[in-house]
Amino acid sequence: MTMNRSTLHQRAITRGLIFRALVVVVALVGVGQLHAQPLDTLSARVRGLPLDSLIAREAAATDPRVKCAVIARLVSQYLFLGRPEDCMKAAIRGLEAAEPTGNDTLIGRAHFGIGGAFMQFTDLNGALKHFNIAFERFQHAGDSLGMGAVCKETAIVYQRAGDAQGALRYMRKAQAFGLSEGIYGRSMSILARCHLELGDLDSALYYARKADVLKVPGNDPYGYANFQLTLATVHAARGENDLAEPYFKRALTVADSADVPEPLINAAAGYAKLLIGQGRTAEALAWARKGHEATGYTRLPHLMVKSTTALSDAFAANGITDSALVCSKLAHAWRDSLIVLQNKSQLQNQLFTQELKDREDAQLRAEAVAARSRNIQFGIIALIVITLGIFLLIFSRTSVVGAKAIKNLSLIALLLFFEFINLLVHPVLGDITHHSPLLMLLCMAAIAALLIPLHHRMEKLITNMLVSKNNRVRLEAARRTIEELEARPTDTNAG
């Protein structure tokens, strides 16, 4: 009975341990699955969140993958809202979160965001630099869609520079690498506008139709409004005003309801121009005013120029010359302020560029310190090995080593010790001499001048010790040999 109770008790304990182990395994698997979620899945979870929620998510995120996904979405939101400084600051935070992970995809996305921020500052060289870094990271990670996205953004750089052919060339590269679902419509829209600039209206219409991938605004009202605006612009350029008008209206309706100012201002200006051409001046004035009201959300000068110019044209078409003159003066003032802002942006851009350079320099210094630390450790190991070898030779009872071998070993030890001293004092000497090659050479020569006499003395001491030890070993061997020889005749006589 006692055995049965004991057995049952042991079985109960075993079942309890197994149950607990299963719970732990399931929990670990769950955590592992959470951590191993694809980046696209993490990005999809934050898509559509308002700005305040994204800021709160970034502050609360501890997993660098989640933080990077949230920051990437924040960068996009700041781009859409026309807030370049906030965009750049968020992009730099993304790089700070990504670099410690060593993950090429995360780091590539961070540089991708920084390139987009430089685009907002109209610094095309800065944008290209970080797009190229992002491309290399994506290439190293084997991320073909990431490389396609970088080529698409590089095409926009060429488009901004007025090089439609260069933009088309990079869009072909983007198509070859592959276009993800999220950027397909925008890519087709870029192709449409490139062909429009080149005067190829048939191709422009073809790609504008392919860009129309969103049938409802959904979580991307900015993209939907832009796609509708691209179609409207192409049809208007082709003189197909009856086809262009519905697309203008859709773009305006969605942009107005979703509070995305840039598409609303662009669509209002384009639609007002179309209406003026049709003699519908009152409607043109109403829409021009609607576009101008939207500038209260974003005071970007290039949008203000477009808005005030459209309003001036609408006032003039309605015979309101005083208001037209006022708006015309405002347009000129905003053009002037655009130049001022570009100069200010260049200054702000230089500050951000310097911040990024400081980060790169700090990373290089950290890598140099780590490499120096490794070299010092290797030097210590080598010195210990050689020193132990020499001591083993000195204190060995049987081994006999010649003076030439000792000389070679001591020379290797001298070189290693000199390099070890060099690694230790190099940063200090660099600070003292300000990295002057001549002064550094003189300091190292002085160190060598101190080490060489010390090396000669140590070599002489070790050689004397080894010669003495070798003599003792040889004498001991000779004594044993003599004893053996003397013992043999005695043994024979005894026989």
Q: Residues with Cβ < 8 Å from 402, sequence gap 6 or more? A: none
Residue with tokens 């851009």: 349
Report DSSP letters for 78-108, one per residue.
HHHHT-HHHHHHHHHHHHHHHGGGT-HHHHH
pLDDT tens-place string over residues 172-184: 999 999 888 878 8
Max Cα-Cα span within the chain: 147
- What is d(CA 351, CA 37) in angstroms, rounded to the nearest whole number? 36
pLDDT tens-place string over residues 213-261: 878 887 788 888 889 999 999 999 999 999 999 999 999 998 888 877 8
Q: Which of the pair, 289 or 12, is modelled with greater confidence? A: 289
Mean pLDDT of 116-127: 79
> Model confidence at 402, in pLDDT bands (50, 70, 90)?
low
pLDDT of residue 351 exceeding 50, the answer is no
What pLDDT does 205 receive? 93
Between the ranges 203-207, 326-330, 483-487, where is the mean pLDDT highest? Answer: 203-207
Residue 401 is encoded by which pair of tokens? 């080593």
- The alpha carbon of residue 156 and the mean position of all alpha carbons in its chain are separated, in whole angstroms, by 20
Residue type, 330: L
Q: Is CATH 1.25.40.10 the classification given to domain 38-142?
A: yes
- What is d(CA 197, CA 195) in angstroms, rounded to the nearest whole number? 5
What pLDDT does 191 receive? 92
Q: Residues with Cβ < 8 Å from 35, sequence gap 6 or more? A: 63, 65
Alpha helices in 121-258 (DSSP H): 124-141, 144-160, 164-177, 181-197, 201-211, 221-237, 241-258
Q: Give the side-chain half-sphere CA count within 13 A for 404.
A: 0
Residue 43 is encoded by which pair of tokens? 């990005």
What pLDDT does 246 receive? 94
Same fold, 38-142 and 214-340: yes
Q: What percent of the chain has pLDDT over 70?
A: 63
- What is d(CA 268, CA 254) in angstroms, rounded to the nearest whole number? 12
Residue 466 is encoded by which pair of tokens? 């080894």
What pLDDT does 62 receive? 87
Residue 341 is encoded by which pair of tokens? 């802002």
- The alpha carbon of residue 330 and the mean position of all alpha carbons in its chain are separated, in whole angstroms, by 41
Residue with tokens 């560029």: 353
Taking the C-alpha atoms of 186, 192, 197 and 200 in order, what is their torsion angle to the nearest 10 degrees?
Answer: 170
Q: Residues with Cβ < 8 Å from 383, sequence gap 6 or more? A: 413, 416, 417, 420
User: Which superfamily is assigned to 214-340 in CATH?
Assistant: Tetratricopeptide repeat domain (1.25.40.10)
pLDDT of residue 190 exceeding 70, the answer is yes
Q: Give the side-chain half-sphere CA count within 13 A for 293.
A: 10
Instruction: Write down how long the chain is.
Output: 495
Mean pLDDT of 104-114: 90
> Model confidence at 359, in pLDDT bands (50, 70, 90)?
low
Question: The whole model's pTM is what?
Answer: 0.59
Q: Give the side-chain half-sphere CA count within 13 A for 201.
A: 9
Assess contact for 232 and 247: CB atoms under 8 A: yes
Assess contact for 251 and 288: CB atoms under 8 A: no
Residue 495 is encoded by which pair of tokens? 């026989």
- What is d(CA 150, CA 262) in angstroms, rounded to the nearest whole number? 23
Assess contact for 123 and 86: CB atoms under 8 A: no
Nearest to 291 by CA among 322, 317, 321, 266: 266
Q: Where are the domains of the chain?
A: 38-142, 214-340, 366-476
Q: Which of the pair, 256 or 335, is modelled with greater confidence? A: 256
pLDDT of residue 158 exceeding 80, the answer is yes
pLDDT tens-place string over residues 377-395: 766 666 666 666 666 555 5
What pLDDT does 410 receive? 65
Cα–Cα–Cα angle for 209, 214, 215, nearest 5°?
Answer: 95
What pLDDT does 279 receive? 92
Nearest to 326 by CA among 340, 337, 314, 338: 314
Q: What percent of the chain has pLDDT over 90?
A: 16
What pLDDT does 25 receive? 38
